[in-house]
């Protein structure tokens, strides 16, 4: 996967990610939400990816929290973004539509970068 560039970005210290995310959600609950939020903020700031998909396990509270925090942040960015709850290996028709929309937005953003 490293050669594809789909899953890899620069290393960021865990504490740094948590601090960035804590500006939007408290880290006092010791959940993953501030880390997910910090990674999103960093990815947008440095233009690491052309689009982002936040995938969470169905009924995972930190994933649900991160969706609630990231949605308004995503609305202020040019970065294509969507969030998916997954309860198995299946993709619903709506999820497929959203992924196709993100792919089109990512292609557009890539052309703007070149």
Give the 3-state secondary structure of the chain. Answer: CHHHCCCCCCCCCHHHHHHHHHCCCCCCCCCCHHHHHHHHHHHHHHCCCCCEEEEEECCCHHHHHHHHHHHHHHCCCCCCEEEEEECCCCCCHHHHHHHHHHHHHHHHHHHHHC
The pLDDT value recorded for residue 7 is 62
- Percent of all residues in the chain with a pLDDT value above 90, rounded to a whole number: 21
Segment 9-33, tens digit of pLDDT: 677 888 888 888 888 888 777 778 8
Q: How confident is the model at residue 5 (pLDDT cuts 50, 70, 90)?
A: low
Domain ranges of the chain: 10-113
The pLDDT value recorded for residue 8 is 63
């Amino acid at each position: 996967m490293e050669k594809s560039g789909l899953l890899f970005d620069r290393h960021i210290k865990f504490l740094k990610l948590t601090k960035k995310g804590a500006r939007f959600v408290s880290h006092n609950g010791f959940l993953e939400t501030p880390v997910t939020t910090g990674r999103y903020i960093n990815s947008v700031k440095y233009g690491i990816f052309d689009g982002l998909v936040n995938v969470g396990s169905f009924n995972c509270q930190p994933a649900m929290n991160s969706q609630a925090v990231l949605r308004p942040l995503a609305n202020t960015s040019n970065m294509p973004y969507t969030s998916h709850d997954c309860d198995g290996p299946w993709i619903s028709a709506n999820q497929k539509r959203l992924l196709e929309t993100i792919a089109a937005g990512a292609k557009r953003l890539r052309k703007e970068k070149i």
